[in-house]
Chains A and B, each alone.
Chain A
Amino acid sequence: MRLHIKNGRVVDPASGRDGIGDVFIAEGKISEESAKADRVIDAQGLVVAPGFIDLSARLREPGLEYKATLESEMDAAVAGGVTSLACPPDTDPPLDEPGLVDMLRRRAKALARARVYPIGALTVKLKGEALTEMGQLTDAGCVAFSQANVPLADTQVLWRALQYAATFGYRVWLRVEDAWLAKGGVAHDGEVATRLGLPGIPAFAETIALATLLELVRATGAQVHVCRLSTAGAVALMRKARQDGLPVTCDAAIHHLHLCEMDLGYFDPLCRLQPPLRSQRDRDALAQGLAHGAIDCLVSDHTPVDEDGKHLPFAEAEPGATGLELLLPLALKWGAAQKLPLAATLARITCEPARILGAASGRIAPGAPADLAIFDPQAPVRVSAEMLKSQGKNTPFLGHEVAGSVRYTLVAGNVVYEA
């Protein structure tokens, strides 16, 4: 199948290309040749960009199908222009055995929508005690190892895990939160939690855990990606670590760029997130850190939760928000607020995460996989339960008006979504 995408504004953050032009696709890859196409897509008025890469999206399979299924979430991914996603191992059972990973990849492949990159569990059952068989999990297709949202309290296990991973060059992705300091907490330990009487998680639960992790990276040389920063202090620590030349990268989630503790309002369970929404100062530091390079990329942290899981008092509600379909509009909103060129904005959801993932996609270059998102950056979208393809309707942005609507999504040269 040969495709010709014409008249679009082609934006390739990796090369800096930004201009009206043509993109040709042959045999699932970007091609230089303009041979006769089987299909021509007229992208007049639309942006043609590399498909988005999301480093944190929960698909809820295996085991949590009442919250979402692979099928529903893959539909959500391609509707959001996401062509590659990494899924954390907090499924039921967790992704700690090669058989589970293999099954997930096969099922995902059979659906032929977005590419799925499983993240294996770092420890057996995510319990933080024994290391998983990282070698076999890598052979089964795991691209990295993580504890998802389960804290690894035992620093000796963390140290050993990093040593082991460093030995073989496996990548470790961790969210940082001191398990003891965060114990029992459900909201940022600050003015709003005090007012609402919610048990708090202090900002230093994150910075202390990050400082510990960075020391262990220094000691072991492990390649570590720090997931979903939430505090200004962590942004400063990451900036310093990068200056020191440590092999660390990091991301932030869409919600934390745009929301803060004030958005909890009167106990809105849709704002119950992990990590918690923090102060305005933290939110602004994350938005600026992402703009100025302290933070590498932006993730949706897509976490579909069923209605019953949210129809509970705040502290009992299940944390998380659906996000795959909001990644583009919320990235655009952030980029506009930071006055960034479109290519720089899109870099945070294309070539930057591709680099961390070690994927060949995330660019529009001859020979690269033809994974593309074609979208109207100005089209208004009103976020509603009905418009979301994800089975999870849980987002604090319900009712918000955002801009940016995907018209076509291509994976390996196939049109997998068409609005």
Chain B
Amino acid sequence: MTALGKLFRTTTFKLTLVYLTVFALFAAFLLAYFAWNTRRLVTQQIVATVDAEISGLSDLYQQGGIRRLIFSIDDRGSRPGSSLYLLTTAAGEGVTGNIGSLTTGILDKSGWTETAYRRIDESDTAAEHQALVRVVQLPGGFRLLVGRDLQERERLHDIIISAGRWSIAIVVVLGIAGGFFVTRRVLKRVDAMTGTTQRIMRGDLSGRLPIAGTNDELDRLAGNLNVMLERIEALMHGLKEVTDNIAHDLKTPLTRLRNRAEEALRMAEDESQYRAALEGTIEESDGLIRTFNALLMIARAESGQARDGMTTFDAAEIAHGIGELYEPLADDKGITLRVEAPDAAPMRGNRELISQALANLVDNAIKYAAPESTTLAPDQSPPVNGAQPEIVVKAVGEGDRILLTVADTGPGIPTDDRSRAVERFVRLEQSRSQPGSGLGLSLANAVARLHGGELRLEDNQPGLRSVLALPRGESAVAASQSAPREGVPIP
């Protein structure tokens, strides 16, 4: 559409027109009312004056008779700015007055009428004026007509109407012009935004909407959209990273799988060797499937897909459940595992994912916090840190967050390595020999981020303290006002 057409179809312009119309109508109404009222006022004044004169003249007639009346009329009628007078007999013959001619038939009407007239002393026979007159019957048959010229009234009326018409016209013109310019300015800003978004949609995710600095609603909109664009760019980046990672991370075990099978084909000689090779292949495949599932879960958590599985549950219950699940395994390796979660800690989240994240942390703690040799007899030298290795699982509320903590007394993670540890498949130096896929911390991190929280790796002095800090979520806050849970102690 043409630029002008586009402009006229904007909301701004339409609003301007609506506003203008309403205003103009209102102004017209106001002016009309004003005009009507002033006219009425003037008419009232005329009526009052004429009535007063008639009343006065009637009294004069009552008191002084016709002579007196005639005298008074002549006197009054000759003064400048006087009213109009006409006295006639019952038959209609003029007696005295200052009216030269009248519309015919006026005298026959009694009461108020408007009429055209000419003054008696007027030379210009073509001129005609309007007057508001009243005719009364006097006792004795005389008819008295008193009136006033309407010229002033009409002139006042005309002035007002004329002024009204002009002002409305000016308002409309100025309004449209103003609307036009304002709209054009707004349209320019919106067009700038549209241009940017089109560029972004064509693929340039780094584009951002321009901010004019006026801090008005358009700026705020642009600001919010920019934040959203940041997020989208980050997500796209993350997605690319995830797919790159998955492709890379799965290639290694797949290659391993293939190599083993190929080697078996080359080297196996009897059935038992083939069988062993096949069993190894299946084992490797299972590991691969596990890795794939874990990666998928991480990708889902990172892209926010798991958000629909949110429920309200008790984090303390999860801590107890996971602790109880892993306690025998820890005990077998010579580690004491206990849970400290006496109070209920309701929160909103994905119960499965959080259980798994906590399980991963506990699993890690058991793997890495075990004493150097699991075959230590009770009377042999004590473990590295000189104390019975211990893992403590906690669930506590802290402000608007729930903290799920797994603290061990193992070797811990050096400060520099902590951010790396969370990356996929990273196995730090001291843990290279352990089995497992290396995805445990990555998943825990992804789950924490999915819930709007974070995974913190801290120094337990000694050992590692992994903290899942998760927001409670609104509906759970209300539930947390209730009394502490009655704890079921770990057997």
- Our verdict on whether A and B bind, yes or no, reads no
